[in-house]
Chains A and B, each alone.
Chain A
Amino acid sequence: MADTGRLPAAGISFDAVSMTFAGVRAFEPVSIDVKAGSFVSIVGTSGCGKTTLLRIAAGLVVPSEGSIDLGGARPGMGKTTLLRIAAGLVVPSEGSIDLGGARPGMCFQDPRLLPWRNAMDNVTLPLELAGVSPDECQDRGIEMLRMVGMGDAWNRMPSQLSGGMRMRLGLARALVERPPALLLDEPCSALDEITRETINELLADLWKELGMTVLLVTHSLAEAVYLGRQVVVMTGRPGRVVSVHGIHLPSRNPEVRTTVEFAQALQSIYHDMTLPRPPGGIAPGSLAKHAGGEP
């Protein structure tokens, strides 16, 4: 793997963030602090709002209430949103979000590649949109492609790539801007078991190598425990955080999945996911209490 140096990791802080869609509360106020450079997994039943939380962190959705803070910057809103509010096209909600220049990288369940662009041009799209020169785009693009093991396939079209290779491209594109945080929305859910394991290893390696903050939303408890140093457990209707688990495994290689510690972590998380709803949820900011998380 090429060494591109560590990324300037930034923490992500959700402060009493809640979301209401058409009068229906999607999730109750969530306050979590994701430390800079940590790898946090979010698991929960379908509809608990974990993907919405991730989309709020990406700046794609403005929360109904509360605010989010990436790397200490918390001005107002994106300039497009402000313009739309000024034009009367959007009614401002109570919540606020601004990711400023510190835009996180995001990888989706479907890698969302442009079918008319080859691997290189897909990976460099964010740089191109940011006005980076073509030469620098090429240099950074090939560097990222090599990092995800796709250096030889730079000129292949998405239609010529397997699901795993497409996901690698999605990851390379999410990291090409050297973001302070990487948001992963069920990146492996459409992959077969073997490919999923390969991508998990790649994610673990990238995190160790680059040291960015990672927030992973997944349905797979095993994936959440294997990759995350902390696991946030959410339940649904309306969504709420029920517990946060610090994950302490003896090692981080595929064999660890057969250890007692791994099984206990899985069991404990599964237990929390299937608990009857507690009256209050967990206290805001409790994630910050958990130690560890550095790569």
Chain B
Amino acid sequence: MKRLVHSIWPPLAMVAALLLVWELLVLVLQVRSFLLPAPSAVLRALIENADSLSRSLGLTALAAVGGLAVAAIVGTVVGSIVASSRLLYRGAYPIATLLQMVPLVAIAPLLVIWFGYGVRSALASAAIVSVFPVIANTVDGLRSTDPNLRELFRLYGASRSITWWKLALPWAVPNIVTGLRIASGLAVIGAIVGEFVSGYAGADAPLGVVVLSSLREARTDLVFAAVALGALVGFVLFGAVSTLGWLLMRGRA
């Protein structure tokens, strides 16, 4: 606990200092609130709209967590298939890298056609953006399995599937966790971009729609509040993935 406090107080102090400077600058320079609201105004907007924002937060979190879960499963399975054969690796890996270059914003409207309006499109969008780092890191991890340990499994007559399950996959865990850490941030971005094109307005508006509708009403404080909640989803996902990684890698050298 003492170590935890010791490691988190410097960034917390830095954030507090930045917020204070921001608050003072807005106050002293008398910046108009629709251009840049003070942190206190953002906090006020958060408190005043706590009910609707918490519903929005839930919807976006559902899309991001669901998208990340799909990416984790699909990424690990696809990565394992790609890494299983040299020919597949040589054929599929460049394509996977190229697919990463496809701009998500451009294909997001297509997702509405395929998955309809609502949380499913946002979830698909989150999954698509976050799956590539999981695939790439899974492939790298599986291919880096210590050849000496592979030989050991060969000595004991282990089949390919058993070698994958008991050696290659545990060996790749640090890489897969790294991929999931990158993916956790991307999943929130993917979810919000998906919501821009597929989210419902009104009571069931997710954070992406709150951002758009608040902009139209020049409620910049609400935009910041929604962005802060989106960032919170990202932090929590990142923390959860890091904790999972710590649990899986306890005791390793």
Pick from B149, B153, B157: contact of A103, CB under 8 Å: B157
Asked if A194 is an interface residue, CB under 8 A from chain B, the answer is no
The total of chain A residues at the interface (CB under 8 A) is: 23
Nearest-CB residue, chain A, relative to B249: A116
**B6 interface residue (CB < 8 Å to A):** no
Interface 1/0s, chain B 147-168, versus A by CB < 8 A? 0110111111110001000110
Q: What B residues does A160 contact at CB under 8 A?
A: 251
**Please, which residue of chain A has its CB at the minimum distance from the CB of B251?**
A157
Instruction: Report how far A158 CA is from B149 CA in the complex, Å.
Output: 14
Query: Are B253 and A115 neighbours in the complex by a CB distance under 8 Å?
Result: yes
Contact between A114 and B251, CB atoms less than 8 A apart: no
The secondary structure that dominates the A interface is loop
CA A60 – CA B158 in complex, angstroms?
13
Interface size of B by Cβ–Cβ distance < 8 Å?
20
Whole-angstrom distance from the CB of B15 to the nearest CB of chain A? 35
CA distance A114 to B170 in the complex (A): 9
Q: Please choose the segment from A23-31, A125-133, A207-215, A260-268 that sits at the chain B interface, where 4 or more of its residues have CB less than 8 A away.
A: A125-133
Q: Collect the chain A residues with CB atoms within 8 Å of residue B152's CB.
A: 108, 112
- Is residue A243 contacting chain B, with contact meaning CB distance below 8 A? no
> For B156, B158, B249, B253, which residue has the most chain A Cβ atoms within 10 angstroms?
B156
Q: B252 contacts the other chain (Cβ, under 8 Å)?
A: yes
State whether A130 and B253 are in contact (beta carbons under 8 Å apart), knowing that A60-B151, A110-B148 are contacts in the complex: no
B156 A126 Cβ-Cβ under 8 A: yes
How far is it, in angstroms, between the C-alpha of A37 and the C-alpha of B180 when the chains are bound?
53
Give residues of chain A (9-62) contacting chain B, Cβ–Cβ below 8 Å.
Answer: 58-60
Asked if A159 and B252 sit within 8 Å, CB to CB, the answer is yes
B252 touches A115 (CB 8 A): yes
A59, A128, A157: the one within 8 Å of B155 (CB): A59
User: CB distance A114 to B156 under 8 Å?
Assistant: no
- Inter-subunit contact B148/A112 (CB<8 Å): yes
Q: For residue B252, which residues in chain A have a CB less than 8 angstroms away from its CB?
A: 115-116, 157, 159
> Which of A112, A128, A159 counts the most B-chain CB atoms under 10 A from its CB?
A112
Check if A58 sits within 8 Å of B253, measured CB to CB. no
Interface residues of A in 86-128 (CB under 8 A from B): 103, 106, 108, 110, 112, 114-116, 118, 125-126, 128
Q: How far is B170's CA from A84's CA once the two chains are assembled, in angstroms? A: 26
B172 → chain A closest CB, angstroms? 11
- Tell me the smallest distance from the CB of A153 to a CB of chain B, in Å: 13
A129 touches B251 (CB 8 A): no
A111 to B170, CA, bound (A): 18
Q: Do A129 and B149 touch across chains, with their CB atoms under 8 A apart? A: no
Whether A129 and B156, one on each chain, are in contact in the complex, defined by CB atoms closer than 8 angstroms, is: yes
Chain B contacts of A116 at CB under 8 A? 170, 173, 249, 251-252
CA distance A130 to B156 in the complex (A): 8
> Are the C-beta atoms of B158 and A129 separated by less than 8 Å?
yes
Which residues of the partner chain B approach A125 to less than 8 Å between Cβ atoms?
156, 166
A103 and B153 CA atoms in complex are apart in Å by 13
CA of A180 to CA of B153, assembled, Å: 19
Q: How far is the CB of B24 from chain A (nearest CB, A)?
A: 50
- Give me the 7 closest cross-chain CB pairs, A-B, nearest first: A159-B253, A157-B251, A115-B252, A129-B156, A126-B156, A129-B158, A112-B152
- Residue numbers of A with Cβ under 8 A of B are 58-60, 78, 80, 103, 106, 108, 110, 112, 114-116, 118, 125-126, 128-130, 157-160
6 contacts across the A-B interface (CB closer than 8 A): A103-B157, A110-B148, A116-B252, A129-B157, A129-B162, A130-B156
Known: A115-B253, A125-B166. 7 other contacts (CB 8 A): A58-B155, A60-B155, A108-B148, A116-B251, A129-B162, A129-B166, A157-B251
